[in-house]
Structures are given as C-alpha cells and as structure tokens.
Amino acid sequence: MLFDLVYGWRKWRGQRGVWSLLIASLCLFCSLIGFVFNLFWLLSSDRPMWVGSQQPMMTIASQDLGGNLQPTSGYDIDLVARLAGVDSVASIAIQSSVVTIGLKELPRLTIGFYSQNTIELLGLPQPFTMQNFESKKGIVSKRFWQQHVEPNASLSDSRLYYRDAAFLIAGIAPTAMEQLGDFGVDIWLPDTYLQLGVPDMFADNPALFLKTKNNRYGFALLAQKTDIESLQEAYINLRLQTPRPEGGFVDKHYRPWLISGIELNPNSRDILQRQAWILLLLLLGFGFIIFSGIVSAYTQQGITRRAEMSLKLALGGSKIALMGQLLRESIPALVLVAALSPLLGGIVTHYVGTIGVYQDYFIGGVKFNIWLWLLAIFCSLTLFVCCALLPLSGSITTMFSRGRQGHMSKVQRRASQVILVLQLAVIMGVMVISLSLMHQELRKYSSVVIAQDVKSYQPDVDGRLSIALTSEQLDGEWSLGGTPVALSSRHFTQVGAPSLKYQSETGVGLEKPINGLYVSHNFFSLLGIPVLARGVLAENAVMINHAMASQLAVELGLSHWKAAKGLALRLSGFYYEKHVRVAGIVGDSPHFGIAAKPKPLVYLSLKDQNPLFASRIAPVFYSKSSNKDVIASHLNDWASLQSPRLTYADGRSLVQQIEDTDVAGKLLFITSCAMASLIIFLVIFTLYNKFCYSLKSEQMKWGVMLAVGARKETLMAKMVWGNMLLTLIATVLTLGAFLLLEHHSQTLMGVSLFQPIVWLFCITLSVFFITSISLWAARGLLRQNISVLVSG
C-alpha cells in the first residue's frame, strides 16, 4: 500500500501545485455548502426561534414612507381580530423609560410589555410563565444581567423600580429575544405596568391613551393558512370604515402592514436573502470550476497513463487489482478532503458568527449543518473515486500498442474545448456579478457629500439631564480653541422615526408625519451640505431637504420643487405646535443610512425645540479640528458644568460613521469579491495547467511544423486566436443566460446585471486573461529545440 501511495504521488509530478490547490478549494467548497444551505434553511422559517407555537400566524405592524416596519396601535391590532379567519390577537408594547436598581438610576432603557395572551398565542419560552405574569415579576435580557446585576451578586434578589413600582427579577430572557424589530429590549414586564404611565388627563379612560398610542407590535393566530394579500386588503378597508376614537392619539398615516408569520425585521431578512442568493450563485460557479478542474486534471493523467494500464493488462494484470491500485493512490486526496473541510467549516462558522448583520438577525448564531457537509463530502469523494479510475477506462477496451498514446483524441479535444467554454462563461458571470455589486457600492459612497474632515462628538448620558444652551451655541457662533462647532439634537445617522407632523397653512392636503432634526445655524456650512435654494435658518424659519421639497410640490401641485421655498407650514408634535416658513432647500443627506432612499426631512433651529424636552436632550457636536482630543477635552469641561452625568467621547469621522450604516452592503461586497477572487485565482491555474498539457500533447506536431519553416509567432497567434473564439462563445453564452436571469437578479439580488461599463471591463479582462495564459503556457514549450520537440 505504501508503494502505491508513493507511486501515485510521483505520478503527479509537475501538477502537484494545481492538484493541491484543487484539494484545498474542494475542502472550502464543502465547508461553504454546509453554511450557505443552512442559511437558506434558517431564512425559510417564518418565525424566530423564541416563538414556540407552530400554528399559522401573522404579524401586525405599520409601514412608514420609507418602507420600514414601524409599531402600530393596540386599537388597530384589535381591528384585525374582526377579520374572517383570525382566531385571536396579542401584542407587545415597546417603551423607553427609567428603571432604578439599588441606588443607581438607569435612564433610556427599552422595556417590552407583554400581555397574558401573548404567552399562550406565541408559546413564549421560560421564564415567560403565567405564574411570573400574575406575580408581576420582570424578566431581564442577558446583556442587562451581565452589565448591571451579575457584577453585584447582592442585587440579584433586590427589587427594581419602574415608576416607583417595585418588581423582582424572575429570570433571564432567551438570547434570541434581545432584539425585537429595531429595538434591543432590556427588560420585559407584564402589560399591567402600562397603567402607571397614563397621564392624569386620561385617568377616566386609560384605554384611550394606551390603545391609540403607536408603540405595539401585534400578532394574530389564524384559523388556517390564508393569503395575506387578501387579508391586507380587507384590513385596509376595515380601517377606512372604522373611525378612530376621539381624544386619542391621531393615526400617523402609515400604511398598515400584515406580514406572514412572525417577522419583526423584514429589511434585514431581505438583505440576508439577497446575500444568500448571491453566495449560492457564486458557490455554484466555484464548485463548477473545482469539479471541472478535477475532471480535467485526472483526464490528462488518464491519457498519459493509458499505455501503462494497457501494458499491465497485456502482461496478465487483474482489472480488480489495478482498480485497487488507483484507489489506493487517491487515499491522500480522500483523507485531506475528509479532514480539512470540517476544520475550514468551523473557521467559516466562527467568523460568520462575529459579523454584526448575522448577529442582529440570527441571535442564536449561525450553525454549521453537519448533514449537508457529509452530503458534500460524499459527493466529493465519489467524484474522486470516479476520476481516479479514468486511467483504466480507456485501457479495458484498447489493445496494447507500442506507439505513442499520449495524444488526445478528437472527442477528448472537443470535450476539453466545451469544458473551457463553460469555465470561461462561469468566470465571466462571476466577474459581472462582482463588478456590478462593486459599481453599486461605489455609487452609494460617491453620494456622500459631507466634508471629509468633519468629526462628531456623541454624548454619553447616565441619568436625568438639565442642560441650558447659550445663544452662541444655538446661533452657531460658538467655538472651541478658535475652531467653529455645530450642534444637532440627534446623531447625524440616528434621526429615528418621524416625531413631527406637518400640514400646509392653506389646509391643502392631509396632515402627514415628518422627520425633524434641530440644528445650529452653522450646521450646513460646517458639514458642507449643499444648498439648492439659498435661505437662512432661524427661529420659525426652517430648511427642508430635496425629498421634502419634491413631496410638497406633488401634494400642493407646485410647478417645480424649488417653488416650495417660502411656503408656510404648521408643524405639530407631542404638546407642541409651530408655524414656520420654508427659508431654503438643501440637498439630501444620508441621515437614514447610505443604502437607504432619501426621506423627507425638515431642519429646525435649536431655538424651536419642544420646551418639554429641550433641557433633557444632550446635543451632538461637530467640528473640523484635526486635534480631536483637545476638542473632546473642552466639551467634557463644558459638560461637567452642565451635569455630572454627561460626558463626551472622542470624535469620530462623520463620513466613516455614515459608511458604517451599510454594514450589510460591505459584507455582501467583501464576500462576493472574496469568492470571485478565489474563482479567478483557481481558473488561472487550471487554465494554465490545461494549456500546458494541451501544448505538450501536441509538441511533436509543433516541432514538425517548425522544422518545415513555420514561424513561432504564427503558431502562437493561431493558438491565441482559437482561444479567443472560445472566449467569444463563452461571452455569448453568458450574455444569453443573464438576459434570461435579469428579472430574477433584480428581484432576488437587487442588482442589474446589464451595465455597459461592467460588461466592457469583464470582456477586456477575459481577453487579457486568455491571451496572457496562452502566451505564458506556450513560451516554455517554444524555448526548446526542434529536435527535442520532434522526439516527444
């Protein structure tokens, strides 16, 4: 057996590099199979892991103007119960509040309030039990426990206080429940605690306050699987026919949204599904290149070893014994594939588990599917076994001959050309997909017009605040060390959900929700935001972005979006109303993420903030100073005079923070480029090996032609021209395939595969690859003397 192993190893002399590369690539392919298909399996589930019930359900929420999922009201959730086919409904309310633990006050914690029937309808896991609900105990997240309870063991049995009401901790919620939609829930409480937050003006009718407030995610139990679109239409009609209770919160005019299953993060699911389809497509291309390379390598070895097998059979060798010899020679490859692939699978799974996009959606982690890996290993080993017997396949029916048997037959040559065309088509398709994604990402980054040297300084608040901003700060005339500083009420990329509503002073059009950001008067000039219609931000004079101007032009029938300048608007919020004039229009900025579509936004002066909240909001500061440590030190000196609970972190590049909002896009770009690079790298080596062998099998023919007067340049040009024709055929095949897949690529991957610049670059790069590899392979052969070539 040892002799067969050593003999088989020596037979790969000259091809060990390609052979080792194919083995390593096959191991990586088997590992990625286990990950990608498991990702599809996880995405196929219509409910998260913390939902124990498997009965037909749907989610009740709202969709804002940007297509994002938003909470709805308990009143609208109760309306769903009237629809035919709906058995019962339940809800979870989300609210930010202050909780006291020991002597420490913890502000801005996110609390999830669950109802009694939520436990039964969703089948919530431990410690969500009826006993804990009735005893009014709280359930904390693992993050909250580790940060606030675990460091001080004596607090584990202490009482926590919500609005002066004490409660005990019943346990830790499952990790999968830490994220509920866009909210990271810190504490879970029974919904009976919601009564504590009802204002005195609603004391006679607390349900009016609680039911009409838009802070709930709803869930409905269906009698049977139903078409959600028909339910959606019936739900919209029911809402139009049912007036909202007078005196409660006004509807935000969001579109009602019913989602099949339990789904609170549909945008993340769409992103992951796009990535899964792109990864699957690239993985299939990667696998084809690997398997075609293995078949090609073993076919070449089979041609050269056919004489050896025929001789052994002619001398009385047994076919079974020869098959055993060939299989024993392949043992190193089989062992490497079986041993290395699970190691790579563990590395891939561990790396993916640290990526934020996957952590946000799959809280429990992305597991490695051992059964899919075993299936991939079985298929790979079967391929190896079949390929290992190729040297014997042509020897069983062919008589032994003393003549040279290293040439490829006409059929084998045609088969080699077909494989080459398919490989070229795959590599071109991979390049088109990767470059299309790259072009899409570059367009997003080029849309950022914020000055590159702007840094933002974000507040860190650890309690209640009482801040008084000076007139210099509000007017944008404040400076630190001679460096101008701008302010905003919120972080640039965390404007949040619409907090205001607007309506034209003329009364034309419905009152609609709008995002608002309060800024100092030098905000636009310091950040470099382009001004499209000049105006001066001041008290009762606002600036709007291009998206808002376009929306006003459509609503009011204006001739042009610039005509929105000078309009009088009425802005209203929670116990807040302002009559303002549109002073000017600025360009759209990526406040909602670099990958999101621009949303209507109104910029107000910091002087126009709601008096109820103005003193409680710590502003975000912006500066162009290169010495961020000095600015941070000055800001902390100012913050210490305002409150001991307020500090400021070191400045970070605002452009970098904007680009970080598209983590999923970066991940998609990096993974696709990594897969494309692997495929291109593998194709270069396999094509070089294929061309070298093809030339070696034809070297006698080349030697004869050179001996009768043919020029080396002519022979090389003929070979390159033949490969160019194959490249042209591959291009036509790829173009035809992508023409059929264009609609699916837009739907599944969100990217167009027909971009002229991308196709021109891919074709040029493919021609360069083929020409370079062909000339590189021919160079070594043509350096030899004619006598050596003719002798074979």
Burial of 351 by CB count in 10 Å (0-12 exposed, 13-18 middle, 19+ buried)? exposed
pLDDT band at 397 (very low <50, low <70, confident <90, very high): very low
Asked if pLDDT for residue 396 goes beyond 50, the answer is no
pLDDT score recorded for residue 407: 53
Higher pLDDT, 212 or 613: 212
pLDDT score recorded for residue 121: 94
The DSSP bridge pattern shows strands 138-140 and 214-222 to be unpaired
pLDDT band at 361 (very low <50, low <70, confident <90, very high): low
- Tens-digit pLDDT profile for residues 78-99: 999 999 999 999 999 998 888 8
Written as six digits, the tokens of 279 are 């990864």
pLDDT band at 191 (very low <50, low <70, confident <90, very high): very high
pLDDT score recorded for residue 77: 94
Q: Which of 263-277, 361-375, 392-406, 541-555 has the lowest mean pLDDT?
A: 392-406
Q: Which of 6-20, 196-210, 254-268, 582-596 has the lowest mean pLDDT?
A: 6-20
Mean pLDDT computed over every residue of the chain: 80
CA dist 217 → 72, 78, 197, 362, 754 (Å): 6, 12, 19, 19, 40
Average pLDDT of span 16-42? 73
Instruction: Show the 3-state SS of 621-668.
Output: EEECCCCHHHHHHHHHHHHHHHCCCEEECCCEEHHHHHHHHHHHHHHH
pLDDT score recorded for residue 225: 87
pLDDT score recorded for residue 406: 46
Query: 């992508």: which residue's tokens?
Result: 738
- Tens-digit pLDDT profile for residues 206-239: 988 899 888 899 999 999 888 899 999 999 999 8
pLDDT score recorded for residue 522: 92
Asked if pLDDT for residue 65 goes beyond 70, the answer is no
- Side-chain-facing half-sphere of 157: CA atoms under 13 Å: 1
pLDDT score recorded for residue 247: 74
Which long-range contacts link 661-664 to residues 24+ away (Cβ below 8 Å)? 661/493, 661/590, 661/593, 661/594, 661/595, 661/596, 662/441, 662/444, 662/593, 662/594, 662/595, 663/356, 663/357, 664/268, 664/271, 664/272, 664/275, 664/357, 664/595
Contact 789, 706 (CB under 8 A): yes
Nearest to residue 574, comparing CAs of 521, 611, 619? 611
- Which pTM does this prediction carry? 0.66
DSSP one-letter code for 115: -
Nearest to residue 683, comparing CAs of 753, 761, 770, 762? 770
Burial profile 321-330: b = 16 or more Cβ within 10 angstroms, e = fewer: ebeebbbbbb
Asked if pLDDT for residue 633 goes beyond 50, the answer is yes
All structural domains of the chain with their residue ranges:
1-46+265-406, 57-262, 411-447+662-792, 459-650
Backbone angles phi, psi at 5, to 5 degrees: -65, -45
- Tens-digit pLDDT profile for residues 111-158: 999 999 999 999 999 899 999 999 999 999 988 888 887 766 554 567
Question: How many other CB atoms are there within 10 angstroms of residue 402's CB atom?
Answer: 7
Q: Which of 7-16, 439-448, 484-493, 636-645 has the lowest mean pLDDT?
A: 7-16
- Tens-digit pLDDT profile for residues 659-713: 887 776 676 677 777 777 777 777 777 777 777 766 666 666 767 777 777 777 7
pLDDT score recorded for residue 495: 81
Higher pLDDT, 409 or 297: 297
pLDDT score recorded for residue 542: 94
Asked if pLDDT for residue 404 goes beyond 80, the answer is no
Higher pLDDT, 125 or 362: 125
pLDDT score recorded for residue 86: 94
Higher pLDDT, 264 or 386: 264
DSSP 401-454: -SS---SPPHHHHHHHHHHHHHHHHHHHHHHHHHHHHHHHHHHHHHT--S-TT-
Q: Which of 180-184, 261-265, 479-483, 630-634 has the lowest mean pLDDT?
A: 180-184
Average pLDDT of span 717-739? 85
Average pLDDT of span 43-50? 81
Average pLDDT of span 609-627? 83
Burial profile 275-295: b = 16 or more Cβ within 10 angstroms, e = fewer: bbbbbbbbbebbbbbbbbbbb
Q: Which of 16-20, 195-199, 431-435, 602-606 has the lowest mean pLDDT?
A: 16-20
pLDDT band at 399 (very low <50, low <70, confident <90, very high): very low
Higher pLDDT, 593 or 56: 56
Residues counted in the chain = 792
- Tens-digit pLDDT profile for residues 540-568: 999 999 999 998 888 888 889 999 999 99
- Tens-digit pLDDT profile for residues 322-352: 777 777 777 777 777 777 777 776 777 677 6
Helix (H) or strand (E) holding 91: strand 86-101
DSSP 440-481: HHHHHHHT--S-TT-EEE-EEE-S-------HHHHHT--EET
pLDDT score recorded for residue 402: 45
